[in-house]
Amino acid sequence: MRIESLRERLRSLGAKPGHEQRVLRLWSQAQPQDKGRRALEAFMPTALRNELPALVDELAGLARLQSQHPGDDGSARLLVALADGQMVETVLLPRGGLCVSTQVGCAVGCVFCMTGQSGLVRQVGSAEIVAQVALARTLRPVKKVVFMGMGEPAHNLDNVLEAIDLLGTLGNIGHKNLVFSTVGDPRVFEALPQGRVKPALALSLHTSRADLREQLLPRAPRMSPEELVQAGEAYARTTAYPIQYQWTLLEGINDGDDELAGIERLLKGKYAVLNLIPYNTVDDLPYRRPSWERAAAMARHLHRLGILTKLRHSAGQDVEGGCGQLRARAERPERP
């Protein structure tokens, strides 16, 4: 379901802009239902008031909790059923973070990601994205939303931008606490600067070599690492918050000294944070994480070069998210 069709339905029931905003605000902020219903019903047209209980139930049905898998670091992976029975994963992160899914499956096909192995099943509607936030807020407060779950947000751009707009206006999430995460797509760099809510941007870089990137992310748009960083830098200067470059560390593949030199070439002097994320090993895939010592040495080296680098603990294997790596990391930087 799209947020825009929800708005149209409210209007057809006689909702004025104030009613529409109140319904969307209370829903996205997951106000307690009784209190919310009483507040919602005050001063509303009769047709809308009569329809409201069914609508509230319908919105709750957009994302229902199937199961919850807590990790040992404050993370928890939620298995969430959408109205048609499709499942996505939503991850509660420490310190009020939430990772949401934007697609069922994913077409990018990153070779190290379980979600990428299954291809795209369907898009997640903008209302279903906000419903994941509303569901999480029934469990704990949410102050930050990262779009790093199952799916590539750039491949579902209209829905993701609609959800970002609602969360950043009525959903009580600060704009830079909305993090659009992408493998990089020219449409993203065109669309994001035009929105009234400008999210922070995380770019999945993973390697400084164009040929290796094509192997690791076989169906990502063909943007070279240089083009990605150039476009990212322009957006960082527009928004005045740094780009987060994501680098999933794969042993023997992108953890060598050649890559350190490549990172220096790409990111030195840029308005950027580099997140090194040691890979969460997946049974069915042949990739391995490098030793923690190697990862820490890489972070130390880059720090000495003046590149702001954070070494991220992945949330434990037990809360590994559908995106395989990017979605299920705790935001717990290690000192290099």
Residues forming the site for ligand SF4 (CB under 6 A): 106, 108-110, 113, 115-116, 150-152, 183, 323-324, 326
27 vs 287, which CB is nearer to ligand SF4? 287
- Closer to ligand SF4 by Cβ: residue 127 or 183: 183
Contact call for residues 258 and 207 (beta carbons, < 8 A)? no
Q: Least distance to ligand SF4 from the beta carbon of 51, Å?
A: 37
CB of 163 to ligand SF4, least distance (A): 17
The token pair at 119 is: 């291809």
Minimum CB separation of residue 247 from ligand SF4 in Å reads 12
Three-point CA angle 25, 27, 29, nearest 5°: 65
Comparing CB distances to ligand SF4, the nearer of 28 and 115 is: 115
Q: Is 304 buried (19+), middle (13-18) or exposed (0-12) by CB count in 10 A?
A: exposed
In Å, how far are 257, 293, 298 from 261, measured between CA atoms?
Answer: 6, 19, 11
CB 205 within 8 A of CB 223: no
Catalytic residue among 20, 51, 89, 331: 89
99 is catalytic: no
- Which residue carries 């950043």 as its tokens? 168
Q: Quote the least distance from Cβ 132 to ligand SF4, whole Å.
A: 15
41 catalytic, yes or no?
no
261 CB neighbour count, 10 Å cutoff: 12
Compare residues 203 and 302 and give the one whose CB is closer to ligand SF4: 203
Q: Which residues are catalytic?
A: 89, 323
